[in-house]
Amino acid sequence: MSSPPLLCLFLSLIVVFAGTVSPARASDELERGGGGGGKQREFDYFALALQWPGTFCQRTRHCCANNGCCRGSNSPGIFTIHGLWPDYNDGTWPSCCTKSHFDPKEISTLNEALEKYWPSLSCGSPSSCSGGKGTFWGHEWEKHGTCSSPVFHNEYDYFLTTLNVYFKYNVTSVLNDAGYVPSNTEKYPLGGIISAIENAFHISPQIVCSKGAIEELRLCFYKDFKPRDCAIGADAKIDMVTKKASCPKYVSLPETVSIGRDGLQSWESNDAAL
């Protein structure tokens, strides 16, 4: 019988951090720009972007096998990983830093954990850095992972470490413990959600909303994965909390609607809850 995935991942983390880690923002990430190929300067920090499926999946209008929103009762009801993004302190970011093509075989031993905690929430095929279409994981590696040198030099370490940072900084658990649970009727104070994160991790997050519902929450880290605020300076911090004025003072965490794979989605968004 194989070892529990979480145990294996945490044991492997010791190797990753010892061997590869240097001691030392539109709501849809696919729209993020940045550089494209060529030599780009080394990044300043990491942003761990987490998606709230209950908000994201409301846009699902048809189902497919690779869409995490289409797993019926097994659809995710927790924050899932969108990506680990190398960013610059000036608000820009590098992208597509090398010509390294994604090889799914390199992370095959992580598939079970990735499917559960880093699923695609779309049926579309995101573009690759070479201009073609690829997988969600491939997009994240080619666009962002290739820019994470000198911390990471290969796919496996990039995905494994992202999973372990996600487990260590369990946003869903922190919010649930503070009383912020999935609901299609409740609205929660944005300041309270931010305070819960700050009290737990001693950093200020970045939050992105869609129609009054939290869609994405980002935690930021130095290159050695010690936590840091996602903004520099007071003005930037205010802008961070109200990213593009997308979040009102009271926000919702909608429940994930059960959508099966064998047909079109038949429900409509509950605007009253948003």
Strand pairing class (213-221; 45-51): antiparallel
Q: How far apart are CA 222 and CA 229, in angstroms?
A: 9
CA–CA–CA angle 21, 23, 29 (5° rounding):
50
Give the end-to-end CA distance of the chain in Å, rounded to a whole number: 45
Q: How far apart are CA 211 and CA 247, in angstroms?
A: 8
Nearest Cα to 253, choosing from 78, 12, 73? 78
Which among 29, 139, 140, 215 is annotated as catalytic?
140
Q: How far apart are CA 38 and CA 24, in angstroms?
A: 26
Which among 82, 142, 215, 255 is annotated as catalytic?
82
Contacts of 156 (CB under 8 A, 6+ apart): 106, 107, 110
Coil, strand, or helix at residue 214? strand
Cis amide linkage into residue 150, ω under 30° from 0: yes
Six-digit token string for 97: 């830093």
Which among 29, 139, 142, 144 is annotated as catalytic?
144
**Catalytic residue list contains 144:** yes
Catalytic residues: 82, 140, 144
